[in-house]
Amino acid sequence: MKKYFAEFLGTAVLVLFGCGAAAFSLQQGLGQLGIAMSFGLSIVAMAYAIGHVSGCHVNPAVSLAVFLNGGLSVDDFIGYVLAQFLGGFVGTGLLKYLTGAFSGAAFSNSELGANLSNVGVVGGLVVEIILTFVFVLVILGVTSDAKYQNISGLVIGLTLCFVHILGIPLTGTSVNPARSLAPAVFNGGVFLNEVWVYIVGPLVGATVAALLWKYCLKPKAGAKTSKVDAE
């Protein structure tokens, strides 16, 4: 159960701080880069806090990719995903409380960081597939070799920031169904109508990345790879 609790906690923190930055961005002038950094730094922090317990997936799309590559059993995959979605709801609930508590101080909830596509439903789906594909592929690569263990959390967090920089003006950036479902449910309306984009897109992107890694890019056991560390 420690693994599931770790995933619950990590996802709650990611949603609270990442979506919280989006919720308060207008009043605090964070801008898109500030929001992107908040999501990325949340991952960095949680990677070093819970990574040794659960691997710090905090994302059903990541867990799906790991499962497809044989890194999770069916039972653990289900447990991880349920814990992640629950963490997303708790994180959003805490954010809802905070935005309500500070509503008299020129704060607004800004839809609690809920996603909404600015490029149409089809365009949003394509964007989420691409962003998640890149994000998950980097995760699979940087966690595949023990020599990257000490920096993997930093690399993954920076990559999440990287995909947010492009994705925020297009879809708000999800790449994580657990990050998107709860804010959509809390807001309802058009956010709930479009939430399937932010569930299907990341899962498809993660699947493509997992299969590409498994059959094309994954190093063979004992194989030597060229050094690119200095590049």
How many Cβ atoms from other residues are within 10 Å of residue 217's Cβ?
Answer: 12
**∠ CA 38-40-42 to the nearest 5 degrees?**
65
Mean pLDDT (whole number) for 18-47: 89
Longest dimension (CA), the chain: 61
What is the per-residue pLDDT across 106-134, written as a single tens digit (0 to 9) for each? 455 568 999 999 999 999 999 999 999 99
CA distance 38 to 14: 9
- Nearest Cα residue to 85 out of 25, 7, 22, 186: 7
Q: Please tell me whether residue 159 adopts helix, strand or coil conformation.
A: helix
Asked if residue 151 has pLDDT above 60, the reply is yes
What is the residue whose two structure tokens read 């609690």?
Answer: 112
pLDDT tens figures, 65-98: 999 999 999 999 999 999 999 999 999 999 999 8
* Secondary structure (3-state) at 4: helix
Asked whether the predicted pLDDT for residue 156 surpasses 50, the reply is yes
- Cα-Cα-Cα-Cα dihedral of 85, 90, 96, 97, to 10°? 180
- Position 145 pLDDT exceeds 90: no
Q: Is the pTM of this model over 0.85?
A: yes
At 226 the pLDDT is 36
Of 39, 22, 12, which Cα lies nearest the Cα of 113? Answer: 22
List of residues 6+ apart from 83 with CB closer than 8 A: 4, 5, 7, 8, 11
Q: Which domains does the chain have, with CATH numbers?
A: 2-217 (1.20.1080.10)
What mean pLDDT value characterizes the chain? 91
